Structure 1
């Protein structure tokens, strides 16, 4: 718990929010990132007060607030334990609807093609080839497929700059470890993919949130940071951002790239959703090719289990440097999944899958627009998640609403999991890809609308 409380002390120091309200949010955030797990035991009130240098009453109020939100259980004589958010909602099966994990829908019409393609591929492949160590960063065929896929977004993509790795998350681990030393700073939006928060905490890298408006992080905030404390890198999720759904405009991308170029700050462009729109603004890798590490993969444009991603480095030399970090953290990508990815890019299956996911996502967004017509939310027609601010007059806060939805079998994630500045907005992210079909998606959204509209549920017991 020492590393956990050290992390909390830093967050408490940086935030202006009262500690008794911030500590429950930190518990929720650490659950989302995996730093805390259900059934973990937390320090006693006096011990935690001493470690955090807070008074006993403040910590007691914090634990009481966390219990109110369903995050903790206290047992006389045993202590205080993390309750977690997963016990009441399995990832699949039963009557629960998984809307916490941001995964693409699964078009039923392509299941047979995927099955037949995979069977043909494996029947024609030497099985021992798949059990051996592979060429690091992918074979020539793998890198060629990756280059072909990346050229959907920009032309400056030579094979000697491309590496194949086991998923975007592993690519980010390598990039953060390569670009930032412990104690260094990476700047990013005030809302961000929880994985980047977990990676930074694990590697001892500080995250500095940049002020934002409705269009994303502000270029002048980025420049002010560069002047006062040059960051090690700028992390950006520019297309259908997770969680806000914002796609940075061409103008905003140009302004951010201009700052990075003038101050020589490397850019980590996490374009996980970049292939979903039929047309998207130019990638930052196009605007600042000599500074940008562009990352995309198949988890959001094909399926979460296809853990294959591609990194385009600024140069062949930097690609080789990055290869060392990847080798240290992941050894190699799975030969099975890389073989599938290469085949499906080469034979057009990936294109068909992407088109089908776009169509299904658009249909689900239409359902959401109709069912949630009384509530304001942000979404992108090509995306499969939405960002729903919770009006104060509803009588909910985001954490309590997410907990109540979970008790009713609907998964959603409150803004605390995504906030990088310790001041999350009152909002939840709802993912539309998890429901099995449109009818299940509509039923889940109607339950969400009903729950938001009836805050008296707030005081119902959670089993």
Structure 2
């Protein structure tokens, strides 16, 4: 049915929308209408829904479409079956754990994504095409050739064509960062980074006895003149940059700033670790720094931040073969390899298109959640509308640690700026993650609760004594 279907049946439930060819899968249109009706109160808990066959006939769709719609609504905890008595609107689900987690930076689950089904199909294809013995043994060369080819395909939007031999498959970005530090620096060496940066970098640098020194940043990222001055003063071996939707500030460094930093790195013979987990989620991101200074940059792209944390697979671009071998030696000292079965699943999804479809769904859901955050947080929201997190600067009457504690007492988990600050200074802000709460309604509730909290002054709180 390519034409718009107008609902004319006067006996049709008034909560259903007009089903259109442009509105996406029809079962999701029906499920979304159910969800909206429950949220608005036009469908109330305990109310009986039309039998599936009758609704299918009224909508002029097949029974399977309505069955899928009801199944999807059950998955969202909107409906409950009562055997022969039919299907009813479910009572609101009581959450035994009241914490609304806005602290974990994970991709939001896309509408209609069935990870169980994806896993079954993906793994069945892997087992059909791969030697099971190879999936259960050691892979010491940084991933199989097919895994590296999948990495080259995954990185095509950033680099167009890559030689797969220049890629290493790692068990996540944290392992890649740690191995690069071990391979490219010595104890006591200086690593430069922005003042607000990824805590995993600081943990690895500290564990390995390297000195992390910060370089001033502005609204466009690390300041070029300050980087050059730091190079003269500290003789650093590495600079760590997260230039796209930076964690935690959500700043995307413009191309001009990237070119300036790349030029300084060339002049100072400074190597750059470009940790770029969010590039594929960004709206029209500039080219990676690795395309501007190919010999200076080690590029990391992880699947955990744009697909799902369960895929602990990262691709690392290291062009020099000797440095690639040093990296592998360092990696094997603590991680040995990416799990072959996980890497094979990632490879299958990349080649069969599942990864692209999932990422498109994550991108769409993330943008929708940013719109929700913008509406609720109003003038306090300063995001760009993409990525997984928002950096929220606080009113002067709150400080970030105080706000985080108050939020926790309200059942909301957020991350204060202090968790990301290297050195003595810190911003007065919190990071809010939009993907960690699976249900969109609960996310909305958490943001509303946080907005109300921000509007109140700390002195209005009193602790209960029990």
- Tell me the TM-score range normalised by the shorter chain: 0.7 to 0.9
Residue 106 of structure 1, CA deviation:
1.1
- RMSD between superposed Cα atoms in Å: 1.7
**Residues 1:94 and 1:127: Cα distance change in structure 2 (over 3 Å):** farther
Asked if 1 retains the 8 angstrom alpha-carbon contact of 2:377 and 2:451, the reply is yes
Choose from 202, 206, 226 the match for 2:207. 202
- In structure 1, the residue matched to 2:354 is 349
Residue 242 of structure 1, CA deviation:
0.3
Asked if 1 retains the 8 angstrom alpha-carbon contact of 2:221 and 2:253, the reply is yes
Choose from 104, 107, 111 the match for 2:110. 107
Unpaired stretches in structure 2, ≥5 consecutive residues: 1-94
- In structure 1, the residue matched to 2:290 is 285
Asked if 1 retains the 8 angstrom alpha-carbon contact of 2:417 and 2:427, the reply is yes
Q: How far does the alpha carbon of each residue in 1:346-365 deviate from its partner, in whole angstroms, 9 at most, with x for none?
A: 11111001100010000000
Residue 194 of structure 1, CA deviation:
0.7
- In structure 1, the residue matched to 2:444 is 442
User: 2-side partners of 1:162 and 1:188: how far apart?
Assistant: 24
Equivalent residue of 2:114, what SS? helix
Choose from 223, 237, 240 the match for 1:235. 240
Equivalent residue of 2:450, what SS? helix
User: 2-side partners of 1:345 and 1:457: how far apart?
Assistant: 52
**Residues 1:165 and 1:210: Cα distance change in structure 2 (over 3 Å):** same
- In structure 1, the residue matched to 2:169 is 164
**Residues 1:446 and 1:261: Cα distance change in structure 2 (over 3 Å):** same
Choose from 139, 145, 148 the match for 2:144. 139
Equivalent residue of 1:310, what SS? strand
Equivalent residue of 1:332, what SS? coil
**Residues 1:126 and 1:219: Cα distance change in structure 2 (over 3 Å):** same
- In structure 1, the residue matched to 2:122 is 118
Choose from 412, 418, 436 the match for 1:416. 418
Choose from 240, 245, 250 the match for 2:250. 245
User: 2-side partners of 1:94 and 1:122: how far apart?
Assistant: 37
- In structure 2, the residue matched to 1:6 is none
Superposition TM-score, scaled by structure 1 size: 0.77
Q: How does 1:92-103 map to 2 (within 5 A)?
A: 94-103=97-106
Equivalent residue of 1:358, what SS? helix
User: 1-side partners of 2:451 and 2:341: how far apart?
Assistant: 42
Residue 103 of structure 1, CA deviation:
0.5
- In structure 2, the residue matched to 1:38 is none
Does 1:266 find its partner at 2:271? Answer: yes
User: 1-side partners of 2:264 and 2:109: how far apart?
Assistant: 40
Number of residues paired by the alignment?
A: 369
User: 2-side partners of 1:154 and 1:93: how far apart?
Assistant: 47
User: 1-side partners of 2:464 and 2:346: how far apart?
Assistant: 47
Equivalent residue of 1:248, what SS? coil
- In structure 2, the residue matched to 1:372 is 377
Residue 326 of structure 1, CA deviation:
1.3
Residue 370 of structure 1, CA deviation:
0.4
Asked if 1 retains the 8 angstrom alpha-carbon contact of 2:123 and 2:345, the reply is no
Equivalent residue of 2:202, what SS? helix
Q: How far does the alpha carbon of each residue in 1:14-33 deviate from its partner, in whole angstroms, 9 at most, with x for none?
A: xxxxxxxxxxxxxxxxxxxx
Residue 315 of structure 1, CA deviation:
2.1
User: 2-side partners of 1:141 and 1:118: how far apart?
Assistant: 15
- In structure 1, the residue matched to 2:5 is none
Asked if 1 retains the 8 angstrom alpha-carbon contact of 2:126 and 2:348, the reply is no
**Residues 1:255 and 1:227: Cα distance change in structure 2 (over 3 Å):** same
- In structure 2, the residue matched to 1:129 is 134
**Residues 1:396 and 1:406: Cα distance change in structure 2 (over 3 Å):** same
Q: How does 1:1-16 map to 2 (within 5 A)?
A: none
Q: How far does the alpha carbon of each residue in 1:326-358 deviate from its partner, in whole angstroms, 9 at most, with x for none?
A: 122211111121011100111111100110001
Unpaired stretches in structure 1, ≥5 consecutive residues: 1-91
Asked if 2 retains the 8 angstrom alpha-carbon contact of 1:415 and 1:424, the reply is yes
User: 2-side partners of 1:119 and 1:322: how far apart?
Assistant: 30
Asked if 2 retains the 8 angstrom alpha-carbon contact of 1:291 and 1:314, the reply is no
User: 1-side partners of 2:155 and 2:365: how far apart?
Assistant: 23
Does 1:212 find its partner at 2:217? Answer: yes
User: 2-side partners of 1:461 and 1:216: how far apart?
Assistant: 43
